[in-house]
Amino acid sequence: MNLRSLVAGSGGYLPRRVLTNDEISKTVDTNDEWIRERTGIRERRIAADGELTSDLAVQAAEAAMSDAGVAAADIDLIIVATTTPDKTFPATAAIVQAKLGVDKGAAFDVQAVCSGFLFALTTADNFLRAGAHKRALVIGAETFSRIVDWTDRATCVLFGDGAGAVVLEATELNGDTLAARGVITTEILTDGRLANLLHVDGGVSSTGTAGHVRMQGNRLFRQAVERISSAMVTVGKRAGVAPSDVDWFVPHQANERILNGVVEKLGLKRDRVVSTIAEQGNTSAASIPLAYAAARQDGRIKDGDLVMIEALGGGLTWGAALFRA
């Protein structure tokens, strides 16, 4: 049987606390104008004390399950993409599994920083198409505020907390690969030689601490537009569609200027780009499913629309995926 992973539902969750640019400018040497002009960010959400990555993930997962009309008993695979797990172990996915009351199948984390959702989606898609599992929760969840150095103005203005999720369902592929709903093709890539562009300066086996985010923003920026565009072209070619012909572009939300760079390079339609960066900042692995869920909920993305997602993050990791909503 030829299987296809249908994106059966989506959902997002943002913590209540809003942190504005003006508030950050009271603690580090920055200002609202610089942050808006250089990044497009106006505000971001910050998880409450005691609110964990798994808590955000569970909220997003429940929203996605309700959107898909499925229950905990229907889920047999949970993949959480996160760089900010509740604990070193067990996997945040295992904690989420227990909190959701899912009692079968597998649950594990994927670590690809801002590309995490793309890597998790690709993993789940392959598991489902192989017939190993039937219905997956693919979640991107982060409390990046906990690894940000709040004295470093170059990074602390960028990140926010949140979670997004989709339900992926194995369905029989009927008919044309491009016309049928579901995941059409994905491309994920890593170049570990560029790890120093974005990393944390700690870890379990090195410092025994979680560490703080360190970034060579300008060098990373230059890599981003190039590599993201190239992955999108690869995915498009494989599916037989030009990136400019997709209905919706749902990018990882790192910087408004990166989005605009990709839009210009590939001739995408600006009004077909889903951007949440102004209100959410960079939520790392959560940003793509959060943006997708928002655009589904407000009716922009409809059943059958062709959607391209992309990301680039620490590792260096990057890639793109094409699916029909």
Compute CA distances 292 → 136, 165, 297, 300, 302, whole Å: 17, 9, 9, 10, 11
Alpha helix stretches (DSSP H) within 101-141: 116-129
The conformation of residue 268, written as its DSSP 8-state character, comes to -
| Residue 44 interacting with ligand UT7 (CB under 6 A) | no
Which one of residues 3, 190, 217, 242 is an interface residue with ligand UT7 (CB under 6 A)?
A: 217
Q: Let me know if 156 is a catalytic residue.
A: no
Q: Residues 6 or more apart from 64 whose CB is under 8 A from it? A: 9, 10, 11, 137, 165, 166, 167, 289, 293
Angstrom distance (rounded) from CA 45 to CA 39:
16
User: Shortest Cβ distance from residue 35 to ligand UT7 (Å)?
Assistant: 6
Which one of residues 40, 313, 315, 319 is an interface residue with ligand UT7 (CB under 6 A)?
A: 313
User: Shortest Cβ distance from residue 304 to ligand UT7 (Å)?
Assistant: 30
Contact letters (x/-) for ligand UT7, 138-177, by CB under 6 A? ---------------xx--x--------------------
Q: Check 114, 156, 199, 212 and give the catalytic one.
A: 114
Which one of residues 61, 312, 316, 322 is an interface residue with ligand UT7 (CB under 6 A)?
A: 312
| Residue 82 interacting with ligand UT7 (CB under 6 A) | no
Nearer to ligand UT7, 37 or 245 (CB): 37
Helix then strand then coil, in percent of the chain rounded to 5, is 40, 25, 35
Residue 97 exposure: Cα atoms within 13 Å on the Cβ side? 20
| Residue 111 interacting with ligand UT7 (CB under 6 A) | no
Nearer to ligand UT7, 133 or 212 (CB): 212
Terminal C-alpha separation, the chain: 22
| Three-state DSSP class for residue 303 | coil
| Residue 34 interacting with ligand UT7 (CB under 6 A) | yes
Which one of residues 7, 46, 114, 147 is an interface residue with ligand UT7 (CB under 6 A)?
A: 114
Q: Residues 6 or more apart from 288 whose CB is under 8 A from it? A: 117, 118, 140, 164, 250, 251, 252, 253, 309, 311
| Residue 129 interacting with ligand UT7 (CB under 6 A) | no
Cβ atoms 5, 168 nearer than 8 A: yes
Side chain identity at residue 73, one-letter code: A
Nearer to ligand UT7, 154 or 210 (CB): 154
- Name the residue number minimizing CB distance to ligand UT7: 217
Nearer to ligand UT7, 152 or 305 (CB): 152
Q: Check 21, 156, 252, 255 and give the catalytic one.
A: 252
By annotation, the residues acting in catalysis are: 114, 252, 282
Site for ligand UT7, rule CB under 6 A: 30, 34-35, 38-39, 114, 153-154, 157, 198, 217-218, 220-221, 224, 254-255, 258, 282, 312-313
